Amino acid sequence: MLQIINHGNVRELRLARPPVNALNPELVERLILTLRESAGECGAVVLSGREGLFSAGLDVVELMQLDRDGMKVFWRAFFELQETIACSPIPVVAAITGHAPAGGAVMCLMCDYRVMSDGDYRIGLNESQVGLIIPPVLQNAMVRLVGPRIGEQMLVAGATVDSQQALKIGLVDALEPAYDKTISHAIEWCQKLLSLPQHSVLGNRAIARAHFKQEFAENTDADIASFVDGWFSDETQVVINSLIARLKAK
């Protein structure tokens, strides 16, 4: 479900939940715990996926089996995962080894740096297309990277972009031609940071990311309630059920 691969002082957490690294309650919990442990055991973390796919986002099939309380618990954990990445005491880098839609993209937004495999891979918050509403704190994380104009337009349309376009608009920071290169680029980026005085690197980083802590603290409860209400609305259930029917038909 989650492979841990140490590269010296840099720890790679490789999503390994076939077939599409979908985020179910267990994987989200595992990510939170492993990220927290890692902060005391290494200097930086790389999140990666398999060749051609980083993560397809939420495991809607499994989540549709949850009742309202179960969904509330899951969504709180999903928020906690994003906060754990964004407010991590050590740098977290996304090695986006392929497609990264929806919840897969959200994790990338929270990272310090994003390197993506170049190719016909899509990244973006396509929630609008599947009937879901993205809470403010997650929208802001997108806007932080691509600006309010492009951010609003992509979020409203549920648009995804390919790797070249992602680089152009700042949704990712660099491209690499192959799977291995994507991961090694991420590791080298971490190693370069780790060669600098850590008290100033981490001190400056904490200031640059302080707004995340504040946003998560202020908004989480209301956002969770809204999202769960939306999830169980008739309109959203219809869209998700037809999405699941399409997935199963494949």
Q: Which residues of this protein are in contact with a copy of itself, per CB under 8 A?
A: 91, 112-113, 127-136, 139, 143-145, 147-153, 155-158, 170, 173, 192-193, 196-197, 199-201, 203-205, 207-210, 230, 233, 235-236, 239
Cβ neighbours around 129 below 10 Å, total = 16
- For residue 203, count CB atoms less than 10 angstroms from its CB and return exposed for 0-12, middle for 13-18, buried for 19 or more: exposed
Assess contact for 108 and 86: CB atoms under 8 A. no
Nearer to a copy of itself, 98 or 151 (CB): 151
Question: How many helices and strands in the chain, by DSSP H and E?
Answer: 10, 10
Min dist. Cβ of residue 84 to a copy of itself (A): 18
Min dist. Cβ of residue 111 to a copy of itself (A): 11
123 dihedral zone (left: phi>0; alpha: psi -120 to 50; beta): beta
Nearer to a copy of itself, 15 or 143 (CB): 143
Cβ neighbours around 54 below 10 Å, total = 29
Nearer to a copy of itself, 164 or 195 (CB): 195
Min dist. Cβ of residue 16 to a copy of itself (A): 28
Min dist. Cβ of residue 28 to a copy of itself (A): 22
What is the identity of the amino acid at 51? Answer: E
The order of strands in the sheet holding 113-117 is 2-7, 10-15, 44-48, 92-96, 113-117, 174-176
Min dist. Cβ of residue 206 to a copy of itself (A): 9
Nearer to a copy of itself, 179 or 216 (CB): 216
Question: What is the token pair recorded at 202?
Answer: 């981490």
Nearer to a copy of itself, 53 or 94 (CB): 94
DSSP state of 91: -
| Main-chain phi, psi angles of 157, to 5 degrees | -85, -5
Min dist. Cβ of residue 155 to a copy of itself (A): 5
Nearer to a copy of itself, 179 or 189 (CB): 189
Nearer to a copy of itself, 164 or 233 (CB): 233
Helical (H) or strand (E) element with 78 = helix 68-86
Min dist. Cβ of residue 230 to a copy of itself (A): 7
